Structure 1
């Protein structure tokens, strides 16, 4: 019976040591990848001063934006994930749906065409490859919908679709959100030339702040102030939008779970394996040698 215990200790020690080696080498790269089965809905709310083209007057509205993001698992690969995103902007009033298909609905403020893009599953940067993105789709660069795993305290290039290029998202410090440490990033644009309405050029300004959970790169909280005017300076849109409180709380909760899972795989498992594995191997080996020595003395 004692001999079996010795072999169990040796086997368990070897298993823990191998698990530690795999967790610290292969597993780290395997788990720090954007999943290809995402189907998420993000809720924002705020206010907008918007030009009513029918009356020519600027109307003050309470608005809500709902962003629908889904991955195409069939088009994605081990290294690249393909996304489709649609963001619907609606009047925020009782009984109004998050989105509608009827573009003549009076509660619909704006709904652009679906946006298809591909990003690297490791660093989050846009992939400019016709294999993944249709030739007629906008070719993006930089970060699009998340930051990289193990986000650093530095500036990153972030995509702005209105001007069709990247802008520097500047690191501004750390901040706790629902007990979760986040990195704060901001980018600001002022009076940029842009197509403010389909077929109409004008000026565009944006002040966007994002709070990022650094280990996963997830956007926990977001606030933005967007202004669009016609070329002559006449107002078209002045909008403040932010993740709803419920959305921020949900994001923080999900991020905590994801961080715990990553820490378990990349931290706890290797630590336990590298400490207990060799100890159990040595104990099992020593006890096995002792049992063999005892057996030979008994036989003599």
Structure 2
């Protein structure tokens, strides 16, 4: 009986070929589908700092108050599945010691609910599903996946417009490296508010439609490069009132040089970023390289075994 290629050699060759085909699929097909904004998100970020706050009871601005900003993000899973976008409901409350803890968030110094809808892959705004307000820009609650070392247009919800954040190098947050972006907001009129005339230096008038102005001393964000997750956020809001047509602020509603992520919020962001970026790295780099290397070895070994079997079979007079 003549020798023929053994089943083992054919299986080895087939498995090696399969792994060689699988490797690029992991990198080019599986990873892009894994790098998407989640729809079942439920996170809370807390910022703290000190600054000046307008006291309604005393009808004056009080300096040196502790400020706490709480931002809660929850995904609307049903709406996300229906639309194919990431639909996130966001509430932001600003509190002082007088309103914390609060049983009703509407008792806060400021409470703002809104809805952010984004493309799950690109992070770009999607204008549907009850989006409120009309968002623009490239980043808001997070940056796109695979963050680049360039400037980004970041949505400032208080301003109601985008702000250019410029890349400023890399920075470690609790031992984990991210990309740092900074920017400022010059004083900008954002709306009007009906207030007693005395607040804007017009005591002779019972009510005045005062102008609301907003500025930001400095925004700093440190972002995980792979996932776009914000590891550290710092902001310096200044909100004031002016009499109609005036060039100077008449009353300061809120002014702080620095309100930033608490250590607990930073740690939670770093832990999640390390986990998610590790999964993306495994699917996009580690597994494809390992699969390709294993496939190459198996394919070569299988090919050698098949060739040997054929050579043996073709030799005349070679008995089993």
Q: Structure 1 pair 244/7, CA: closer, same or farther in 2 (3 Å)? A: same
Q: How does 1:1-300 map to 2 (within 5 A)?
A: 3-59=6-62, 60-77=64-81, 80-92=85-97, 96-97=100-101, 99-101=102-104, 103-104=106-107, 108-112=108-112, 114-127=113-126, 129-130=127-128, 132-134=129-131, 137-142=132-137, 143-195=139-191, 200-206=210-216, 207-232=218-243, 233=249, 234-239=251-256, 240-294=258-312, 298-299=318-319
Q: Give the distance between the partners of 2:261 and 2:123, measured in 1 at CA.
A: 21
Shift of 1:43: 1.6
- Give the count of matched residue pairs: 289
- Displacement of 1:292 after TM fit? 4.8
Distance 1:262 1:103 in 2: 39
Mapped to 1, the partners of 2:7 and 2:297 lie a distance apart of 17
In 2, the alpha carbon distance for the partners of 1:62 and 1:214 equals 32
State the distance in 2 between where 1:90 and 1:203 align.
20
Contact 1:175 1:182 in 2 (8 A): yes
Q: Distance in 2 between matches of 1:100 and 1:67?
A: 16
CA drift of 1:195 comes to 3.0
Q: Could you tell me how far 1:147 is from its partner in structure 2?
A: 0.8
SS in 2 for 1:111: strand
Give the 4+ runs in structure 1 shifted more than 6 A: none
1:279 deviates by: 2.2
CA distance change for structure 1 residues 200 and 277 in 2, over 3 Å: closer, same or farther?
farther
Unaligned runs of 5+ in 2: 195-208, 244-248
Unaligned 5+ runs, structure 1: none
TM-score by length of 2: 0.82
**Cα distance in 1 for residues equivalent to 2:234 and 2:105:** 28
Corresponding residue SS for 2:143? coil
Q: Secondary structure at the match of 2:20?
A: helix
Asked which structure has the greater CA Rg, the reply is: 2
